[in-house]
Amino acid sequence: MQNITLAKQSIENFSIDEGEYSDDAQTMQIHGNGQVFVRGEEVLVKANINFGETNGCKVFIGRNVKGNFSATFKGNDSLLFIGNGCRLNRLEIRSFQENDFIAIGNQVTTASTNTWISGNGAGNAKPAIIIGDDCMFSYDVVIRNSDAHPIFNISNDEQINQPKGIVHIEPHVWIGEQVSILKSVKIGACSIISLGAIVTKDVPRFSVASGVPAVSKIKTDIYWARNENEQAKTRAKYFLNKFKDS
């Protein structure tokens, strides 16, 4: 329930009500016994969804989603949500844990190869990935909400590197080329993550983060837009005003 609450805060009109969707996803490559639900009459995105031997997994895809993506599931009862108007180019999603939760907001874009990995080696933790509306991802971006391999305390075999939280990217965040976003971090709305940064700690809203590991500087005197036209600037200012006093 907490993941759904956070998704609703960052994704406008977030819904996984099956009655609002159709299960007609014949144009997609679907392997296994999971269910794929789509909004609208026409499916524009090319998808390769592999449910493997899992049970109870569901994918929800919004209206006017274009491009191509792949998703692989290793755990039962997992959920992937993709909002309206996304443009996904060579996005690869790998879900390793049971009861996984991956939510991608409306009008999210990936310029080219992105790899987002959830729950690999997370132990007893159940880290989600939640990406808010209007986030823009450049080339070769990696998201990992776990370390992939466990590290144990030698005295009691307790795993010491389990994620302490989810990866949550709030709306209108620009992720630069070759950025890595690691476990248990929140990136605040209207921020910019510079080329090559490795994000290991939370980034406040209205920040520019750069470096290895990334260091954040709050910059309230600037804002970013997808291009220079008035429509893009108006969209950017919508998020600026939405989050400036929250």
Mean pLDDT across 136-154? 97
Q: What confidence category does residue 167 fall into, taking pLDDT thresholds of 50, 70 and 90?
A: very high
Nearest-5° angle of CA 24, CA 84, CA 82? 70
Element (H, E) at 6: helix 2-10
Q: Tell me which residue of 179, 151, 178, 180 sits closest to 163, measured CA to CA.
A: 151
Nearest-5° angle of CA 151, CA 158, CA 154? 70
pLDDT tens digits, residue range 78-109?
999 999 999 999 999 999 999 999 999 999 99
Q: Given this model, what pLDDT does residue 27 score?
A: 72
Q: What confidence category does residue 42 fall into, taking pLDDT thresholds of 50, 70 and 90?
A: confident
Q: Given this model, what pLDDT does residue 244 score?
A: 86
Q: What confidence category does residue 41 fall into, taking pLDDT thresholds of 50, 70 and 90?
A: confident
Q: Does the pLDDT value for residue 58 go beyond 90?
A: yes
Amino acid (1-letter code) at residue 52:
G
Q: Model-level pTM?
A: 0.97
Mean pLDDT across 27-40? 91
Q: Given this model, what pLDDT does residue 103 score?
A: 98
Q: Given this model, what pLDDT does residue 109 score?
A: 98
- For 39, the 3-state DSSP assignment is coil
Mean pLDDT of the chain: 96
Q: Tell me which residue of 137, 165, 163 sits closest to 150, measured CA to CA.
A: 163
Distances (CA, A) of 98 to 93, 102, 146: 15, 12, 14
Mean pLDDT across 11-24? 93
Least confident of 19-28, 135-144, 153-162, 169-178: 19-28
For tokens 């994000």, the residue is 199
Question: Going by DSSP bridges, is the β-strand pair 207-210/215-218 parallel, antiparallel, or unpaired?
Answer: antiparallel
pLDDT tens digits, residue range 184-222?
999 999 999 999 999 999 999 999 999 999 999 999 999
129 φ, ψ to 5°? -125, 120
Q: Does the pLDDT value for residue 227 go beyond 90?
A: yes
| CA distance linking residue 43 with residue 185, whole number of Å | 33
41 burial (CB, 10 Å; 0-12 / 13-18 / 19+) is exposed
CATH ID of 2-151+159-243, from 1.10.940.10, 2.160.10.10, 2.60.120.10, 3.40.50.300? 2.160.10.10
| CA distance linking residue 17 with residue 225, whole number of Å | 32
**Dihedral (CA of 84, 71, 114, 242) sign:** positive
| CA distance linking residue 233 with residue 98, whole number of Å | 40
Contact between 114 and 92 under an 8 Å Cβ cutoff? The reply is yes
Q: What confidence category does residue 1 fall into, taking pLDDT thresholds of 50, 70 and 90?
A: confident
